[in-house]
Structure 1
Amino acid sequence: MQVRTRRGFLGTAAALVVASSVGACEAGRGGGPKGEGDDPLDVSASANLPAARESLAADGTTIVIGNPSAPLSVRVYEDLSCPACAEFELDGNGPYLKQAARNDALQLQFTLGSFLGPGSKFAANALRAAVDHNKFTEYHELLYRHQAKVRRAGGFTRDRLLALAVKVPGLRGPEFDAAVLETKHREFVEAADEAMSNSPAEGTPTMAVNGALVPTDSRGLYDDRDRLYRHLRKAAARA
Structure 2
Amino acid sequence: MSEKNREGKRAARERLAIEREKQKAQERRRRTLIVAAAVVGVLGLAAVIGVIAANAGKDEKDAAGPVVAPKGAMGKDGLAIPVGKESAKSTLTIWEDFRCPACAQFENMYRQTIHQLVDKGQLKVEYHLATIIDGNMGGEGSVRAANAAACAQDAGKFTPYHDVLFQNQPPEPDDAFAKNDKLLELAGKVEGLNTPTFEKCVNDGAHDSWVARSNEAFQKGGFRGTPTVQLDGKDIFSDQKNPLTPAKLKQMVEAKAQ
TM-score, with normalisation over the residues of structure 1? 0.69
> What does residue 122 of structure 1 align with?
144
Aligned residue-pair number: 180
State the Cα RMSD in Å.
2.0
> What does residue 93 of structure 1 align with?
110
Instruction: Name the amino acid aligned to 1:220.
Output: P
SS of 1:75 mapped into structure 2: strand
- For 1:139 and 1:69, locate their aligned partners in 2 and report how far apart those are by CA, in whole Å: 24
- For 1:233 and 1:69, locate their aligned partners in 2 and report how far apart those are by CA, in whole Å: 14
| TM-superposed deviation, 1:101 | 1.3
- For 2:237 and 2:191, locate their aligned partners in 1 and report how far apart those are by CA, in whole Å: 37
Q: Please list, as runs of the form range in 1=range in 2, the aligned pairs for 1:141-220 lying within 5 A after superposition.
A: 141-148=163-170, 151=172, 153-156=174-177, 157-214=179-236, 216-218=238-240, 220=243
- For 1:121 and 1:71, locate their aligned partners in 2 and report how far apart those are by CA, in whole Å: 32
Q: Is the 8 A contact 2:149 2:158 kept in 1?
A: yes
* Equivalent residue in structure 2 for 1:112, among 108, 129, 132: 129
- For 1:130 and 1:68, locate their aligned partners in 2 and report how far apart those are by CA, in whole Å: 20
Q: Is the 8 A contact 2:82 2:127 kept in 1?
A: yes
- For 1:80 and 1:145, locate their aligned partners in 2 and report how far apart those are by CA, in whole Å: 10
Instruction: Name the amino acid aligned to 2:125.
Output: L
Rg (Cα) greater in structure: 2
Instruction: Name the amino acid aligned to 2:186.
Output: L
| TM-superposed deviation, 1:169 | 0.9
Instruction: Name the amino acid aligned to 1:182.
Output: D
Instruction: Name the amino acid aligned to 1:176.
Output: F
> What does residue 6 of structure 1 align with?
none
- For 1:87 and 1:142, locate their aligned partners in 2 and report how far apart those are by CA, in whole Å: 13
* Equivalent residue in structure 2 for 1:57, among 52, 74, 81: 74
Instruction: Name the amino acid aligned to 2:114.
Output: L
Instruction: Name the amino acid aligned to 1:96.
Output: T
- For 1:164 and 1:55, locate their aligned partners in 2 and report how far apart those are by CA, in whole Å: 23
SS of 1:220 mapped into structure 2: coil
Label 1:107 to 1:87 Cα distance change in 2 as closer, same or farther (>3 A).
same
| TM-superposed deviation, 1:142 | 0.7
- 1:17-74 deviation line (CA, Å, top 9, x unaligned): xxxxxxxxxxxxxxxxxxxxxxxxxxxxxxxxxxxxx931143110110113433100
| TM-superposed deviation, 1:147 | 0.5
Q: Greater relative contact order (Cα 8 A, min sep 6): structure 1 or 2?
A: 1
- For 1:143 and 1:96, locate their aligned partners in 2 and report how far apart those are by CA, in whole Å: 18
Unaligned runs of 5+ in 1: 1-53
Q: Is the 8 A contact 1:77 1:113 kept in 2?
A: yes
Q: Is the 8 A contact 1:200 1:213 kept in 2?
A: no
* Equivalent residue in structure 1 for 2:247, among 208, 220, 226: 226
Does the alignment pair 1:74 with 2:92? yes
Label 1:153 to 1:206 Cα distance change in 2 as closer, same or farther (>3 A).
closer
Q: Is the 8 A contact 2:122 2:257 kept in 1?
A: no
Instruction: Name the amino acid aligned to 2:154.
Output: D
SS of 2:132 mapped into structure 1: coil
SS of 1:56 mapped into structure 2: coil
- For 2:164 and 2:202, locate their aligned partners in 1 and report how far apart those are by CA, in whole Å: 16
Sequence identity percentage: 32
Label 1:236 to 1:197 Cα distance change in 2 as closer, same or farther (>3 A).
farther
| TM-superposed deviation, 1:124 | 0.6
Q: Is the 8 A contact 1:77 1:201 kept in 2?
A: no
More strand by share: 1
